[in-house]
Amino acid sequence: MRIILADNYEEMSRKAADIVRSQIVLKPDCVLGLATGDTPMGMYQELIKMYENKEVDFSEVTIFNLDEYYSLSRENPQSYYYYMHHNFFKHINVKKENTYIPNGTATEIDEECRNYEEQIKNKGGIDMQVLGIGANGHIGFNEPDVNFEAETHLVKLDEMTIEANSRFFSSKDKVPTSAISMGIKTIMQSRMLVLLANGESKADAIYKTIKGKICPEVPASIIQLHPNATMVIEKNAAKLL
Ligand code: PGA
């Protein structure tokens, strides 16, 4: 595991964007796995600037997102479909048909999950997966007491996640209680992982992920076994290391 420290959020975002850009330069038709949340927002802004300055070209890139809330439609501003289109896709030249996000309103959820795995395999697997981390150590929506062998599946959200994500909704009871998420197996099959962490609220999860024992209570701890993982950590998130 490589650890890259950053002095502040802007530096973390720039370094993460540089890593993603390097992947696209090396392999213009690469498959990226992307994440939502507050943490990668600065990285998306940096990548948009790079695109505008003609330093990166997304025309052959394929993107798979980690997760989507169950039952939220694509038009819902809290959906991850909306987040990705609004904050990233519409500002770059990625082809719409090359972007994949689980459909949270699919009527056959198991089939939707199986199809998502198939689509990833058909594209040759994920070259680089970008991850955030929850204060409870989750990656994607793989919550504590995770099954390390799961592929894309319907997950029940942890109370801590519902609480943390309620800041995006008008009230806590509006937060969906489940989501479709790539599983740990899906994530671990990516050829490279890049995990971003910002802020003191992530310090405990980062400490347990890097220094703790690998256990289902800390889903991100499995990353210790990944052969090509990089953590880009802002200094407050790294303070317990
Ligand atoms: P955040 O979420 O980036 O909004 O802190 C990260 C996560 O829950 O995985």
Structure confidence at residue 157 (pLDDT): 95
Query: Structural domain of residue 215, as residue ranges?
Result: 2-234
- The answer, yes or no, to whether any atom of ligand 1 lies below 6 A from the CB of 132, is yes
Ligand 1 pocket test, pick from 9, 38, 44, 195 with the greatest ligand atom count within 8 Å of Cβ, gives: 38
Cα 50 to ligand 1 centroid, rounded to whole Å: 24
Structure confidence at residue 213 (pLDDT): 98
In a domain? residue 239: no
Residue 120: how many other CB atoms lie within 10 Å: 22
In a domain? residue 34: yes
pTM over 0.95: yes
Structure confidence at residue 87 (pLDDT): 98
Nearest CA, atom 2, ligand 1: 37
In a domain? residue 50: yes
In a domain? residue 240: no
CA 42, 150, 81: angle at the middle one, nearest 5?
A: 35
- Rounding to the nearest 10 degrees, give the CA dihedral for residues 15, 67, 140, 118: -100
In a domain? residue 131: yes
State both tokens at 122: 């058909």
DSSP strands (E only) in the chain: 2-6, 31-34, 62-65, 67-69, 99-100, 128-131, 153-156, 178-181, 192-197, 229-234
In a domain? residue 65: yes
Structure confidence at residue 174 (pLDDT): 93
Residue with token string 């790539």: 182
Number of domains in the chain: 1
Q: What is the CATH number of the domain that holds 105?
A: 3.40.50.1360
Contact 208, 218 (CB under 8 A): yes
Residue 14: how many other CB atoms lie within 10 Å: 18
Show which residues are catalytic.
Answer: 67, 136, 138, 143
CA distance 71 to 124: 29
Residue by residue, pLDDT tens for the chain (241 residues) are: 999 999 999 999 999 999 999 999 999 999 999 999 999 999 999 999 999 999 999 999 999 999 999 999 999 999 999 999 999 999 999 999 999 999 999 999 999 999 999 999 999 999 999 999 999 999 999 999 999 999 999 999 999 999 999 999 999 999 999 999 999 999 999 999 999 999 999 999 999 999 999 999 999 999 999 999 999 999 999 999 9
